[in-house]
Chains A and B, each alone.
Chain A
């Protein structure tokens, strides 16, 4: 553990690197970081890395591995070299995300009310109604302040052309923000000197923003609303995050069995009787929240919750039915929606997407399976997906059949080259592919947490960043300004 890690022999290997330009020189915003890391004594960076890993274990910041009867827990691997986003680029991203969320919220409201966008032929009605997360039961619902998607995590990637694209909108229960906060806190604890003079925008106030967003939804006559986080329970993969957010906001973490509907209000069972609940940040699927309306075999939800919601006696975040905008086929229409609702061009482009439902697109996809990434419209976590160039003939055949059988369920996109960030690999740095998930809160106004979760594919050459498939995470720094002139202020 005494190897001296520096960037001296670091190679970008022709990929877009977030910290180094094509000539191998640190980008302006990364200069200070690179200089600091290069000037550490031998073994120091590894020590900080090890200290962070130890803390992760002691703090029990682990996720549960599914399909394992023992409920095996693993730490989500963390790499100490941060991803850096310069301030001017971030401003652009932030504006793009706000535009997108505002649009998607209008879309969801429209879908469950007049359906103008379908009637005007912008988004085909049959695609909306066949989306797996479209909920007929939500027609006519009026969520407080007409906000449906209070918490969103949008996945962004940078292609080899240097441009940032939107890959996915996660509008149901986006997870990972707890890692953003913990990663930052551990970085500061274990490696404070790296932050000096770096002008990294803080993320620590996320929980306050989240609580304000939730408070904003409370019924009008409630002055001090009781907010709770509803978790499926400790065996859920994101349980750590549920409890972390409840703790950070200082609110109760509840399970469905803690809640009960009485006289068309929602209550929680306490040791001294029933206490009214006004806002629920729920981390369980629509299908499970109320057995009277959705899946009747659900033991996780609360009987009668939807009726309480419909009467405006409780707020739910995100609103039920929001998932309709999460569908990967619907995603393809977002730039058109932006034009339709806001009369603006999309600030953040979509990844070009072929919708297999459309005959022309389908034909193209079937003919170019070896170049495209095919995705099921409603899977996540890197499942139900085929990366054409890496797939076997057999896999391609399987997907060709799937597409032919269920065209509605598939989209295809060109294989993108995700940008890379230097990552510790043994005794040196190597570039590893990353994506970025910023978190957006829609309350009184729209707030975007500076940075977000950088997920990194730790396997050499891999493009799959999901935690279930060998992904890790990094701290994400949004630097105020463009990073120029920092070297001077340092010396």
Chain B
């Protein structure tokens, strides 16, 4: 497979997953607000801190309110990770490998893009945000389902799978971080009914409340952290994502799992081993935020390793591309 095509598969899939997770971030915050005691400050500022570019936000919007944060994270064109920017990038990548992906995937991604673009030109998100973010999640699920069921699970699919899983691992850890930021001012709330409601909201935001309950019944912060970071079977848990990503990486290279022949394999193998043998008590004792921060760095390093190992490309100027005459 062409390196450039592999790269585009990876990023197409990664950007779609990013869109879905941003929708989840906003949704969890909307959910938490419903359960906050009357008079507490709304936790919109931490959302920008965890997900966004703080300086850009401050410069363009100033104060963090529901409206401004929602608008920034959803539609801001100058913020490269906003939902609109990300879906556009997903589509640009897909367009560059239009001949590799299936028509069904391409059609769904197009419709997904139009869904976001049309919303950016209307007031529907202000009117019914929950409904809009639910549609985003669904569009992403549909795209991923179509990808899994119309495309051969060969090298290209594995690159897409890698992109999706690494992005998801990163974002699940950040969703936990949002909760951490919100908790920070009121450590005394730990164990209160409010805390319980907030942790439920976190689980719900990763569609994990039901699976969590089947496994643990009662909600405690420790178990939630364990479930979202160390669970091997829940598909949005960090550990699950890293295991599945490692499998895809080895399917691409042909190296047996457990061995490594390149930088990408070494980095993901180390990360997987760490998660396989970690204990939640240790994580909390060391500090959840510090753990999550380090985790995100390691996931990034895996991404860089993939680029160095399989891709490495130069970029070309757009005006030269446009200059080519087609009669």
Contacts and interface: CB of A to CB of B under 8 A. Distances in A.
B99 A238 contact: no
B252 interface: yes
Interface in B1-40: 1-6
Interface in A312-360: 326
Nearest to B319: A235
Interface in A224-269: 232-241, 243-244, 246-247, 252-258, 268-269
A235 B321 contact: yes
Contacts of B316: 233, 255-257, 299-300
Interface in B271-319: 310-311, 313-318
B2 A58 contact: no
Interface stretch (A139-147, A281-289, A367-375, A390-398): A281-289
B207 interface: no
Contact of A283 (B313, B318, B326): B326
Contacts of A253: 97-100
B321 A232 contact: yes
B110 interface: yes
Contact of B313 (A237, A257, A270, A381): A257
A246 B320 contact: no
A97 B99 CA distance: 31
A270 B326 CA distance: 28
Interface string A279-311: 000011100100000000011100000000000
A51 to B, nearest CB: 14
Contacts of B252: 271
Nearest to A55: B107
B321 A300 contact: yes
A423 to B, nearest CB: 24
A269 B111 contact: no
A59 B325 contact: no
Contacts of A236: 321-322, 324, 326
Nearest to B156: A271
Contacts of A106: none
Contacts of A59: 103, 106-107, 110
Interface string B172-186: 000000000000000
Contacts of B96: 233-234
A380 B3 contact: no
Contact of A58 (B1, B3, B110, B310): B110
A202 interface: no
Nearest to B313: A257
A238 B325 CA distance: 9
Interface string A140-182: 0000000000000100000000000000001011110000000
Contacts of B320: 232, 288, 298-300
B326 A243 contact: no
Interface in A420-477: none
A380 B327 contact: yes
A79 to B, nearest CB: 22
A389 interface: no
B155 interface: yes
B95 interface: yes
Interface size class of B (residues with CB under 8 A): 35 or more
Contacts of B323: 232, 285
B314 to A, nearest CB: 6
A60 interface: yes
B283 to A, nearest CB: 35
Contact of B325 (A234, A247, A380): A380
B67 interface: no
B107 A288 contact: no
A235 B325 CA distance: 12
B318 to A, nearest CB: 5
A364 interface: no
B95 A175 contact: no
A42 interface: no
B55 interface: no
B4 A258 contact: yes
Interface in B142-199: 155
A10 interface: no
Given A60-B110, A239-B95, A258-B4, A285 B317 contact: no
B92 interface: yes
Contacts of A256: 316
A57 interface: yes
Nearest to A59: B107
Nearest to B95: A234
Nearest to A237: B326
A66 interface: yes
A233 B314 contact: no
A469 to B, nearest CB: 14
A59 B104 CA distance: 9
Q: Of residues A60, A174, A237, A272, which shows the largest number of chain B Cβ atoms within 10 Å of its Cβ? A: A60
A220 to B, nearest CB: 26
Interface string A53-96: 00001111000101000000000000000000000000000000
Interface string A378-393: 0011000000000000
Contacts of A326: 327
A257 B313 CA distance: 7
Q: Of residues B100, B111, B323, which shows the largest number of chain A Cβ atoms within 10 Å of its Cβ? A: B323
Given A59-B106, A271-B6, A235 B318 contact: yes
A334 B151 CA distance: 49
B112 to A, nearest CB: 11
A428 B218 CA distance: 68
Contacts of B107: 58-60
A255 B106 contact: no
A298 B92 CA distance: 23
A238 B95 contact: no
B3 A269 contact: yes
A98 to B, nearest CB: 20
Interface of A: 57-60, 64, 66, 153, 170, 172-175, 232-241, 243-244, 246-247, 252-258, 268-272, 283-285, 288, 298-300, 326, 380-381
10 contacts: A153-B327, A233-B96, A252-B5, A269-B313, A271-B1, A283-B324, A288-B324, A299-B314, A299-B316, A300-B316
Which 5 interchain pairs have the tightest Cβ spacing?
A247-B99, A238-B326, A243-B98, A175-B326, A170-B327
Given A58-B110, A285-B325, 7 more contacts: A60-B95, A232-B321, A234-B95, A236-B321, A255-B4, A258-B3, A271-B3
